[in-house]
Amino acid sequence: MRISNSLRSGLAAAGFMLACAPAWALDAKVQGQVTAAIPLDAFKSTRDALKSGVKDYNAGDKAGAVKALEYAAQQGHALARWKLGRMYADGDGVPQNDLKAFEYFSRIADENADESPDSANARVVATAFVALGSYYLDGIANTYVKPNSARARDMFQYAATYFGDPDAQYNLARMNIDGQGGAKDPRQAIRWLSLAADKGHVPAQALLGHLLFAGEAGARQKARGLMWLTIARDAANPEHDAWILELHDKAFAEAADTDRQAAMAYLEQQIRRRP
């Protein structure tokens, strides 16, 4: 399994320069160390190990980075575990291994689920939950991690509600639309998409605009839908977000002149609302 482009952007935003409870994500049979223990005197401190890992990674020494990050991860450092999870998910300096990535993200979720949403680690923990949700959607072939849409929905729900994570809100909305892991609830999907869209989440803006324009969650709101589609189109990457451009162009072609004018008025209001 590969993590989606939308999730990748959310994970990258966490940076490298820097009802759910513990034991929720990690299967009991993998509670042991992810890697062999590194001597306790290998680094002066966990902070020193993380600093060394960052330095080595940025210098292109991925092997040295992994050693330092594993030391920090063994001491429970969430950011080190997160970076190792990303490296194994992408095959970045290590053999690609989704199960190892899953286990690193699981340890973050298990031990940091009650991290304050205002803390420096909040984004790291939230994106770990989102990554786990993505893995549970498809499962990991030939491992104990089987597809489990209900559990995926739980992961997204926790990150969306407790941490207010926009990637989680977007994924949860899609599950509400499709009825994955629970009942279909288009109105709830609109709510989650609205929260994510207000945070600048481009796919959420596009999907929200499409649903409002088409009236798939109630009365059609063509002007507001076209406004969100326009915002998403302006922020979309033409090489990777062709679907957003297509949704916008189709809606724009179908809209009446009055809808287009109203959409521009809404857009001006939206711009004025921005800090």
Is 80 exceeded by the pLDDT of residue 40?
Answer: no
Contact partners, residue 55, CB within 8 Å, separation at least 6: none
Over residues 140-173, the pLDDT tens digits come to: 999 999 999 999 999 999 999 999 999 999 999 9
At residue 140, the 3 state secondary structure works out as: coil
pTM of this prediction?
0.84
**Rounded CA gap, 139 and 127, in Å?**
18
> CB pairs under 8 A, 24+ apart, for 93-97?
93/57, 93/62, 93/63, 93/65, 93/66, 94/62, 94/66
* pLDDT classification of 37: cutoffs 50, 70, 90: low
At residue 179, the 3 state secondary structure works out as: coil
* pLDDT classification of 217: cutoffs 50, 70, 90: confident
Q: What is the mean predicted confidence (pLDDT) over 119-127?
A: 96
Closest CA to 11 of 155, 151, 114, 128: 128
**Rounded CA gap, 245 and 203, in Å?**
11
Please name each of the domains of the chain with its CATH number: 1-169 (1.25.40), 185-275 (no CATH)
